A and B are shown apart, each in its own frame.
Chain A
Amino acid sequence: MNRERAETFLRLLAEAEFREPARPPLPAPPGRLPRVMMSVALTRAAWALTAAGALDPETAQAVLADTDLALAARHRPEPPEAGMISSAGPGRAAGSASPGRAGGPIGAGRLARATFPARTGWRTPRADVSAPLAPAAPQGGPDRYVPIGRLVRFHDETISAEFGLMSYAHTASGARLIAAWHARDPLSSGRRGPPPVDAFTVTDDRGNRYALLFDTKGRPEPTCDLSLRPDPPSGIRWLDITAPGEQAVRVDLDRLADFPAPEVSDTDFSAGEHLLNRIAERLLTLAPEFPAQLATMAPVSLTSLTAGLGVAIAALEAAEVLSPLSPVPGRLATLCASLGVRDHGITAAPAPDLPEPWLSMLSHYHRRKPDTAPAGDGFAAVAAALPELDGIRLVLLGLHNCDGDTWMNALTLGSWVDRPVNHGPLEATFPLSIWVRDSTGRWHVARSTGWHREPGETSFTMRLTPPLTRSCTWIEVRATGPSAEVRATVPLCWAYP
């Protein structure tokens, strides 16, 4: 990795902005000054270099802010959130006002925005990438993960609800049951809010009583945490959960997760390749949103994700985090061609040897029946703590199908959890690529959709594309980080409301 070359590349790209012919300003409402624009190529290159760790976000932000002010000072149009590096990646530029350019909100004045970064000196300190990683799990913590697979029902005159208990997790942040839940009005079958879990009684094998707290923790609606208060002692053997008017449901906490030991292996991906692979995954998850185009092989409009990819690849090569001989840019070009994505700017020749998971998803899309057999609602008890990967420990805590989608619930522990949140959403800062191979051999890519940060850990839910079917009896989860990969085979036993 060559940080100096990375920064030089970005600064020279910014210099090229000034040599482009001046473009007419975009129309602006009366009383407002014209919009100013910065090229998508520049913002993409900045994003790629920071995402690959070749450039610290503060430096990239400073370069963009200088360019923003320099363009504004020359009567050029204004970029959106100039100077702010979004780790959300290329997709965050959706809605560009014109192809290949990042449009922005109209400001009060071309020079009035306070996006120029504050610096005590010219340069902000770089992140210490060599800093030792924090422990993957709280030291001496009571970490415990148990698959459950029980259903707790509740009925009264106004609500009929079920909690599918997928797993029990006890970490330094406390003990909770991870559940898929469903509630409806018995008279109208309309959906309802969560049932009154504070009326449930919970006792353990030692006679301790607990209250339940309902919390979605930023997850999609049908998933929740039922936290136990007070925090139970470690080593309890079971919990009895009793909803008002219902029989107690015993939750066995001595049950061991029964799956083979995960396999860990080194990967030989460079930081740039890892980033490009994640962009490919993003493309594969977005593609189903264009079923008509996929069916007819018509061009898919993913410009917001793919514009400037060629420059981003050049930036990664300049920073020496991507070898000019790497096959990944060529694979990405093939993938774009297969999905009908154009204007990506990748100059590498398309490579025929696509990874098996990509081929699996492409063949699924091109069979033109991605949605012909939606999975029925249900959940599978899962509790699998995977070995640490690049400072992250991933814990799988349940799968559920809802409304034709499959969701995988998880928890992560490790140093990355405590990184500043202003560097972008978890989806972009989460450094693992997660794929799932089902018992029929089909591959599914996981994309995080909702998360909740707590000190030392993050709860989040991933959506699998395409969804799993209920006939699936096991899955192999493959999590890949910048330096290693872990594979874990997890049996699935589905339960249905």
Chain B
Amino acid sequence: MTFGTNGPWFTCLPGCETEVPCGTGRHTVGWEAGSLRLPSHPDAEGELVLAALGGEKARCVELAEAWARHADDLSVLAIGPRGPADEIAVGWDDVIAAAQAGQAAGQAMGTGTAIGPGPAQPGPRLASQPGPTMARAAARRRQMQEQVLAAQRRRNDILSLLALGYGFQVRLIGQVAATHAAQHGGEQVRPALVAAITGRLAPVAEEWLGIDPDQVVVSLHSGRSWGSTELTGYGAGRRLRVSLPAGWLACVWACGLARVGRHLIVAVQEPGWPTARVLGLRSPGAPPEPLDVHADPDGPGNVPHWTI
């Protein structure tokens, strides 16, 4: 028996949609089978060319670019929601306010723009100052400007992606986790993945066993099996030790399958929507049971709810 999924990580996820302010109106942005869709912008590439020639870039198109830029960004795991109860309250007003603040900061730095490095501002040159010193100072200033503006752009990106809402947030988390799971991330990414799984498994474990979330200890599983669970100690020393692969975040958690009924779901055997076969644990240390689970196809697509 293998425990890997037989299809893409998002096979258990239905499509979802939201509306975003774009230009003078509101446009639909959708997600379907792992990709962001812009039905109101059928020629997004053409719009990008026009934007490069000085035209204004539509917010929908900016969103699609941001989605692509952050599809492997582990910060998405650190910032995004830990579960349906973890409400992120970022709206489009916040995004616009942050962009305006960034633009003001950019103008204060002499660039006049919030999203581009802008020209260097060398300032007046004094006859008494040696050329190399001035050149170094100008280079340092330019570098600082670029860093600040890149940071601002990154922040605006993240806020825009958060403003899409919970359904998109978990799908982006799934995308990031799947990307790194496929790359078998090494030492460089393991800490972020361990923290990301811990942050999302701990509240699920609390519902599953009533254990204190601080007593959940996660390690990253890298073998072909689904992983392992073990409950040790008692009282303050009680620990739920769980070893799961990074793909669990994508195939299980992002698809709303982390807990179904009284089972902790550890892997997906036969992915699908609205029916799938998963492996669930009734208790720590118990062997995983194959479970056929069903989602309500008429339920809210953003947050699938599964039952056995």
Chain A interfacial positions (CB closer than 8 Å to B): 3-4, 7-8, 10-12, 14-16, 18-19, 62-63, 66-67, 69-70, 73-75, 108-119, 122-123
14 A-B residue pairs with Cβ-Cβ distance under 8 Å, sorted by A, are A3-B187, A7-B191, A8-B191, A11-B194, A12-B195, A15-B198, A74-B88, A111-B98, A114-B151, A116-B158, A118-B148, A118-B154, A122-B73, A123-B74
Could you list 15 further interchain pairs (A-B, Cβ under 8 angstroms) beyond the known A10-B191, A69-B158, A114-B155?
Answer: A8-B190, A11-B78, A14-B78, A19-B202, A19-B203, A74-B86, A74-B89, A111-B90, A113-B101, A116-B158, A118-B148, A122-B72, A122-B73, A122-B74, A123-B74
Q: Do the beta carbons of B86 and A73 come within 8 Å of each other?
A: no
Contact of B89 among A10, A16, A75, A123 (CB under 8 A): A75
Number of interface residues of B (CB under 8 A): 44
Contact of B78 among A4, A8, A70, A112 (CB under 8 A): A70
Q: Do the beta carbons of B86 and A4 come within 8 Å of each other?
A: no
At the interface, is chain A mostly helix, strand, loop or mixed? helix
Contact of A73 among B90, B101, B213 (CB under 8 A): B90
Q: Do the beta carbons of B147 and A19 come within 8 Å of each other?
A: no
Q: Do the beta carbons of A8 and B147 come within 8 Å of each other?
A: no
A16 to B78, CA, bound (A): 12
A198 to B214, CA, bound (A): 68
Q: Do the beta carbons of A108 and B101 come within 8 Å of each other?
A: yes
Q: Do the beta carbons of B195 and A14 come within 8 Å of each other?
A: yes
Q: Is B134 an interface residue (CB 8 A)?
A: no
Residues of A with C-beta under 8 A to B192: 7, 11, 122
Q: Do the beta carbons of A15 and B195 come within 8 Å of each other?
A: yes
Identify the 7 closest CB pairs spanning chains A and B, nearest first: A118-B150, A112-B101, A11-B195, A66-B78, A7-B191, A8-B191, A116-B155
Q: Do the beta carbons of A62 and B75 come within 8 Å of each other?
A: yes
Contact of A63 among B78, B94, B154 (CB under 8 A): B78
Q: Do the beta carbons of A112 and B213 come within 8 Å of each other?
A: no
A117 to B150, CA, bound (A): 8
Return A72 CB to nearest CB of chain B, in Å: 9
Do A118 and B151 form a contact, CB below 8 Å, given A19-B213, A19-B214, A69-B158? yes
Residues of B with C-beta under 8 A to A108: 101
Output the residue of A16, A70, A74 with the most chain B CB within 10 A. Answer: A70
Q: Which residue of A lies closest to B102 (CB)?
A: A114
Return A6 CB to nearest CB of chain B, in Å: 8
For chain B, residues 64 to 92, give those with C-beta under 8 angstroms from any C-beta of chain A.
72-75, 78-79, 82, 86-90
Q: Which residue of A lies closest to B195 (CB)?
A: A11
Do A4 and B191 form a contact, CB below 8 Å, given A19-B213, A75-B89, A114-B152? yes
Q: Which residue of B lies closest to A74 (CB)?
A: B88
A117 to B187, CA, bound (A): 21
At the interface, is chain B mostly helix, strand, loop or mixed? helix
Residues of B with C-beta under 8 A to A74: 86-89
What is the 8 Å Cβ interface bit string for chain B, positions 256-291, against chain A (1 contact, 0 not)? 000000000000000000000000000000000000
Do A66 and B79 form a contact, CB below 8 Å, given A73-B89, A122-B74? yes
A112 to B95, CA, bound (A): 9
Q: Do the beta carbons of B97 and A112 come within 8 Å of each other?
A: yes
Residues of A with C-beta under 8 A to B101: 108-109, 112-114
Q: Do the beta carbons of A73 and B88 come within 8 Å of each other?
A: yes
Residues of B with C-beta under 8 A to A3: 187
A119 to B146, CA, bound (A): 11
A108 to B94, CA, bound (A): 12
Q: Do the beta carbons of B89 and A122 come within 8 Å of each other?
A: no
Output the residue of A63, A70, A114 with the most chain B CB within 10 A. Answer: A114
Q: Which residue of B lies closest to A114 (CB)?
A: B152
Output the residue of A12, A16, A75 with the most chain B CB within 10 A. Answer: A12
Do A73 and B79 form a contact, CB below 8 Å, given A114-B148, A118-B147, A122-B74? yes
Q: Do the beta carbons of A69 and B79 come within 8 Å of each other?
A: yes
Residues of B with C-beta under 8 A to A119: 154
Do A112 and B102 form a contact, CB below 8 Å, given A15-B195, A118-B147? yes
For chain B, residues 28 to 43, give those with C-beta under 8 angstroms from any C-beta of chain A.
none
Residues of B with C-beta under 8 A to A10: 191
Return A15 CB to nearest CB of chain B, in Å: 4
A113 to B199, CA, bound (A): 25
Q: Do the beta carbons of B190 and A67 come within 8 Å of each other?
A: no
Q: Which residue of B lies closest to A109 (CB)?
A: B97
Return A68 CB to nearest CB of chain B, in Å: 9
A74 to B80, CA, bound (A): 10
Q: Which residue of A lies closest to B218 (CB)?
A: A12
A223 to B293, CA, bound (A): 78
